[in-house]
């Protein structure tokens, strides 16, 4: 069965280019011009990936992303954005997007990001269901099925990307992971962004699991290499 991709993009030339290229690659494609129609189409279908422009009429891309994430925390979403600063890109990712492509983009790069996002999504879909999948380190606990994260008795709210990063760190406790390894395993092997996005997200996760800086440190920096999650050095 063909994988299905929803495009929400108001620039007709870009939307048509994406449609042609994705169909040529073997995907089933549907496109909408505004956020309201995009949300309606999304809710009616079973999508493997969403390509979402931020600046769209009716319902902007960020709000549409929020609503998609309320419905499904796992469906891959790639943002199409004209914004180029690292801060803007990180903000979009922090709101739940899996990746971003800056306009104007090279179609080969976009297709690589689509393949990477679909591989990550497929891996999550293959995870066994109904299994008690708690991961823990010290008083930090995470359940992969319910996506609950607890520090002691305190509930922690993480974005999808923050959650995936913490899962990977917990699965590889006491193992020093380089930024490149984290990019490959959390963002996808074809991710072409800056490695400093890892540092940004490590900081986000640290701030959420210990906002007061009074709890035992769990995520440690290994200078010149990357990061390790362990109860103590």
Pairing outcome for strands 49-53 and 28-32? unpaired
Cβ pair 157, 208 in contact under 8 A? yes
Please state, for a pLDDT cut of 70, what percent of the chain lies above it.
86
Between CA 86 and CA 88 the distance in angstroms is: 6
* Partner residues linked to 154 by β-bridges: 151
SS3 90: helix
Q: What mean pLDDT do residues 60-82 have?
A: 85
Report the CATH fold assignment for 134-229: Arc Repressor Mutant, subunit A (1.10.10)
d(CA 12, CA 32): 10
CA dist 53 and 34 (Å) reads: 9
Nearest alpha-carbon partner for 54 in 12, 89, 29, 86: 89
Whether 193 has a pLDDT exceeding 70, the answer reads no
Asked if pLDDT for residue 208 goes beyond 90, the answer is yes
Confidence at residue 130, expressed as pLDDT on a 0 to 100 scale: 44
Torsion of CA 83, 89, 91, 96, to 10 degrees: 120
Measured in degrees and rounded to the nearest 5, phi and psi for residue 140 equal -95, 125
Overall average pLDDT of the 156-167 stretch: 91
* The predicted structure's pLDDT at residue 232: 66
Range list of β-strands (E), 58-119: 77-81, 99-102
Tell me the pairing of strands 4-8 and 28-32: parallel
| Cα of 159 vs its chain's centroid, Å | 8
Give the model's confidence band at 128: pLDDT under 50 very low, under 70 low, under 90 confident, else very high: very low
**Alpha-carbon span 177 to 180, nearest angstrom:** 8
Weakest mean pLDDT among 50-59, 109-118, 191-200: 191-200
Distance CA 233, CA 217 (A): 9
For residues 26 and 213, which has the higher predicted lDDT (pLDDT)? 26
Tell me which range, 18-22, 97-101, 185-189, is most confidently predicted by mean pLDDT.
18-22
Token couple for 114: 């689509």
Instruction: Identify the weakest region by mean pLDDT among 58-62, 68-72, 79-83, 129-133.
Output: 129-133
Q: How far apart are CA 192 and CA 124, in angstroms?
A: 21
| Pair of tokens at residue 186 | 């959390």
Provide the token pair at 209: 């699991």
The tokens for 96 are 């739940």
- Give me the residue spans of the domains in the chain: 4-125, 134-229
Instruction: Output Rg (C-alpha) for the chain, integer angstroms.
Output: 18
Report the distance separating Cα 7 and Cα 220, nearest Å.
39
pLDDT at 195: 67
* 4-125, CATH topology level: Rossmann fold (3.40.50)
Digit-coded pLDDT (tens) for 8-63? 999 999 999 999 999 999 999 999 999 999 999 999 888 999 999 988 999 888 88
């Amino acid at each position: 069965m063909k994988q299905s991709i929803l495009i929400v993009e108001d620039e007709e030339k870009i939307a048509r280019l994406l449609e042609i290229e994705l169909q040529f690659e073997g995907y089933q494609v549907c496109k909408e011009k505004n956020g309201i129609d995009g949300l309606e189409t999304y809710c009616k279908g079973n999508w493997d990936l969403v390509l979402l422009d931020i600046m769209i009429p009716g319902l902007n891309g960020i709000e549409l992303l929020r609503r998609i994430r309320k419905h499904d925390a796992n469906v891959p979403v790639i943002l199409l954005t004209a914004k180029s600063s690292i801060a803007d890109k990180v903000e979009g990712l922090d709101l739940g997007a899996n990746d971003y492509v800056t306009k104007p983009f090279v179609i080969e790069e976009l297709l690589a990001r689509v393949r990477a996002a679909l591989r990550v999504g497929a891996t999550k879909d293959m995870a066994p269901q109904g299994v008690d999948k708690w991961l823990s380190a010290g008083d930090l606990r995470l359940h992969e099925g319910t996506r609950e994260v607890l520090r002691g008795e305190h509930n922690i709210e993480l974005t999808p990307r923050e959650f995936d990063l913490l899962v990977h760190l917990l699965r590889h406790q006491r193992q020093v992971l380089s930024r490149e390894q984290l990019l490959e395993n959390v963002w996808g092997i074809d991710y072409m962004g800056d490695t400093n996005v890892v540092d940004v997200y490590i900081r986000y996760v640290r701030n959420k699991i210990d906002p007061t800086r009074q709890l035992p440190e769990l995520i440690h920096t290994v200078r010149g290499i990357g990061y390790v999650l362990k109860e103590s050095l």
